[in-house]
Amino acid sequence: GLSSSRAMGARDLRWPDKIVVMEPETASHLIPPVGRFRLALLCGATAALPDGQLAQATAQLPRQPKASALRWCLNADAAASSSTAVCIAIEASRSEEAPAKRPRVAVSNAGPEGTVRVRHILFRHQQLRQPDPAARREGAARGAQEAEAAALAALEQLLRDPSQFGRLCRELSDCQTATQPGKLTGDLGWLGRAQQEQSFEDAAFALSVNAFSDIVSSGRGVHVIQRLA
């Protein structure tokens, strides 16, 4: 027979035989005063991945839940009928200090109050409908999923070696900023509120200096963002 489980609704599975029951079950986890953890919701092939493999594959992505979920899906059995993952990152507190082994990028004078300076790598794809006057080319990705996979690969390389940003940006980015010389490669300058789409703005302003964002989707495509100041 089928193993019993729990579900809200699903009347056809509760009558005439109780294949599933509608009894809520809760669990709690105490967040320490300092630290962070991730909550993973896995379904299909991702649920078959061992806990150790899940943790090891995304050890460098503690603050990138979307990238973590995508990595788990890509690591799951490709022949499976379904592979789904949701990741939620929770952090009790955050230090404003720059992460270790991540060299500071020299920037000019501090910008206006309430602004951040960022650079990015943009991955456009063929499902985008709006023209982008700031794009240097159309993306090679056929859809958003391919663009996100390419962004994940770039993000993982950058987290291992941030000094590769210039090379990767010139090679991969579909934004005109990729053609800017030297340390200005990918630089969007000082950005204030309401200058970018909400998803991009939220990601940029949430970053500490020198940190890399999660995979960010906007009307321009898929971004990997680094805050410079």
The average pLDDT across 26-41 equals: 82
* Residue 108 structure tokens: 């000019």
Does residue 138 carry a pLDDT above 50?
A: yes
Question: Cα angle vertex 56, ends 222, 65, to 5°?
Answer: 35
Are 217 and 199 in contact, with CB atoms under 8 Å apart? Answer: yes
* Mean pLDDT for the stretch of residues 164-175: 98
Q: What is the mean pLDDT of residues 166-179?
A: 98
What are the structural domains, with CATH classification, of the chain?
31-93 (no CATH), 116-227 (3.10.50.40)
Question: Do the Cβ atoms of 42 and 57 come closer than 8 Å?
Answer: no
Per the model's pLDDT, the better-predicted residue between 155 and 9 turns out to be 155
State the pLDDT confidence band at 21, using cuts at 50, 70 and 90.
confident
**Over the stretch 63-99, which tens digit does the pLDDT of each residue have?**
999 999 999 999 999 999 999 999 999 887 655 544 4
Integer CA distances (angstroms), 51 to 29, 72, 120, 143, in order: 17, 11, 32, 30
